[in-house]
């Protein structure tokens, strides 16, 4: 079956630091890959996605590249802000799954001024 | 634009009590989902509905039932609550149920079973 593994957290950074959150996956076929973000007290919202190998998803300064050879989709941001403090989830879905998402464990990010 | 609306936001139940979590979306989406979120485990799928009139089990369906009342509404019922069902529950919807479409989430229901 499908599975997603994220780096263990929590992650604590100072403002303007570089962020990487690792994500690797196991799936049959060719899944689509997503990063969702959950701000305190809210539901999840899509941050970025990539639907095929070598695609790069980007949004709000965050980027992730779909690497089929390493089955990875690592999230990066060059300079984090306090407002980026949230929980980040890597997820995948495939064309046979009716949009069902398989999630990683989630990574708590805290950014200090 | 409300998106996905869940009620209630918070609930405390005693073991053995029943309750229904309500979910409605106003985006004309075909597919709807119920997930539970537990610390260190991400979100896990309880049930989903690929289209109006159909429902199927997800990864953790035991102890739950669902009803797709119409295209807008998808409810989750706990018939006899157990402490293991203490969790945060999220309803979500997506447009075509294909693997590359975005899912939209409600704000969640925090349920405590004592």
CA–CA gap between residue B112 and residue B15 (Å, rounded): 10
- Provide the token pair at B2: 């409300």
The shortest C-alpha distance from A63 to chain B (Å) reads 17
CA–CA gap between residue B35 and residue B53 (Å, rounded): 19
**B50 shares contact with chain A (CB less than 8 Å):** yes
pLDDT one-digit tens code per residue, B18-77: 999 999 999 999 999 999 999 888 899 999 999 888 999 999 999 999 999 899 999 999
**A54 shares contact with chain B (CB less than 8 Å):** no
pLDDT one-digit tens code per residue, A64-103: 999 999 999 999 999 999 999 999 999 999 877 778 899 9
**B90 shares contact with chain A (CB less than 8 Å):** yes
The mean pLDDT value for A16-22 works out to 97
**CA neighbor of B98 nearest in space, from A67, A72, A93:** A93
For B90-102, give one letter per residue: b (16+ CB within 10 A) or e: bbbbbeebbbbbe
Asked if the model's pLDDT at residue B99 lies above 70, the reply is no
Residue B113 has a pLDDT of: 97
**A2 shares contact with chain B (CB less than 8 Å):** no
pLDDT one-digit tens code per residue, B68-90: 989 999 999 999 999 999 999 99
CA–CA gap between residue A30 and residue A45 (Å, rounded): 23
Residue B2 has a pLDDT of: 78
Residue B1 has a pLDDT of: 66
Report which DSSP code applies to A79: S
- Using CA atoms, how far residue B103 sits from A84, B17, B48, in Å, is 21, 31, 12
Report which DSSP code applies to B102: P
Contact B42 A42 (CB under 8 A): no
Residue B98 has a pLDDT of: 62
Residue B12 has a pLDDT of: 97
Count of CB atoms within 10 A of residue A107's CB? 21
User: Which of B42, B97, B100 is nearest residue A103 as measured by Cβ atoms?
Assistant: B42
DSSP 3-state of B52: coil
- Please say whether the beta carbons of A91 and A33 come within 8 A: yes
Residue A25 has a pLDDT of: 96
């Amino acid at each position: 079956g499908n599975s997603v593994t994220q780096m263990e957290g929590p992650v604590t950074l100072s403002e303007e630091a570089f962020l990487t959150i690792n994500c690797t996956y196991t799936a049959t076929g060719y899944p689509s890959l997503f990063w969702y973000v959950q701000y305190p007290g809210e539901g999840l919202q899509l941050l970025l996605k990539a639907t095929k190998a070598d695609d790069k998803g980007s949004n709000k300064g965050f980027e992730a590249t779909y690497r089929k050879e390493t089955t990875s989709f690592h999230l990066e941001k060059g300079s984090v802000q306090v407002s980026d403090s949230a929980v980040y989830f890597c997820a995948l879905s495939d064309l046979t799954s009716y949009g069902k998402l398989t999630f990683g464990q989630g990574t708590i990010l805290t950014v200090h001024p | 634009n409300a998106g996905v609306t869940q009620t209630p936001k918070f609930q405390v139940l005693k073991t053995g009590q029943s309750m229904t979590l309500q979910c409605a979306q106003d985006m004309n989406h075909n597919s709807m989902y119920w997930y539970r979120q537990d610390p260190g485990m991400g979100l896990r799928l309880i049930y989903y509905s690929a289209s109006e009139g159909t429902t199927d089990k997800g990864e953790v369906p035991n102890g739950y039932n669902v009803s797709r009342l119409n295209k807008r509404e998808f409810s989750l019922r706990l018939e006899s609550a157990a402490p293991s069902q203490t969790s945060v529950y999220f309803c979500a919807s997506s447009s075509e149920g294909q693997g590359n479409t975005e899912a939209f989430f409600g704000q969640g229901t925090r349920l405590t079973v004592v």
